[in-house]
Amino acid sequence: MKSVKNAKPVLARTPEQCITRLRGQSILLDTDLAALYGVTVKRLNEQVKRNAKRFPKDFAFQLTAKEWENLKSHTATSSGHGGRRKRPYAFTEHGAIMAANVLHSEQAETMSVAVVRAFVKLRRMALSVEGLARKVTALEQKYDDHFRVVFDAIRQLMTPPDPPRRKIGFDAD
């Protein structure tokens, strides 16, 4: 029987849901990448350290203490009691692919395709939002102040909503 310490993580989210923005880049945290690739976080990080030349700073980097605290507060992760003791590593799109190459597992090879597709999908969505913003700005300059309310409403719709907060307390439903 396997011990809990060496258990492979199970990912309950899709690759698209795991990608987050940090330092102006789209990244995957080592915990999510390890779950996607079907390995432990320890094994993933060991392979990254063994193959350090393949992971320059624009492929993978360790979060600062402040970034980690900020990320924990946004995602409601463990407060440190039984949780993670070291700051996680973040992998960009290229770092995630390189990680699949150094892990040499069948699941890593298969999931790397899904990871690339998730990053591409995210990039396309960002470009379409930027294009829409440019069009709204051009229209705003073309029309007078009577349409300002309309343009303000469109800009509000374009801004992403705040992530839903977890309710505190007991829910009878």
pLDDT at 90: 92
d(CA 144, CA 8): 59
Cβ neighbours, 10 Å, residue 166: 6
Measured between alpha carbons, how far is 92 from 30 in angstroms, rounded to an integer?
A: 11
Q: In which order are the strands placed within the sheet that holds 20-22?
A: 20-22, 25-29, 89-91, 60-62
Amino acid code (one letter) for 52:
A
pTM comes to: 0.59
Domain ranges of the chain: 7-125
| Nearest CA among 86, 91, 80 for reference residue 22 | 91
CB under 8 A, 24+ apart: contacts of 48-51: 48/89, 48/99, 48/102, 50/102, 51/98, 51/102
Report mean pLDDT in 10-residue bins for the chain, 173 residues. Answer: 50 75 87 89 91 91 88 60 76 87 79 77 74 74 70 74 73 67
Q: Which residues contact 84 (CB under 8 A, 6 or more apart)?
A: 31, 77, 78
Measured from the Cβ of residue 134, the count of other Cβ atoms closer than 10 Å reads 10
pLDDT at position 144, please?
A: 67
Q: What pLDDT shows up at residue 3?
A: 44
What is the predicted pLDDT for the residue at 1? 41
Tokens found for residue 10? 């199970």
Q: Identify the pLDDT of residue 61.
A: 92
Q: Are 94 and 59 in contact (CB under 8 A)?
A: yes
What pLDDT was estimated at residue 4? Answer: 47
Q: How far apart are CA 60 and CA 98, in angstroms?
A: 10
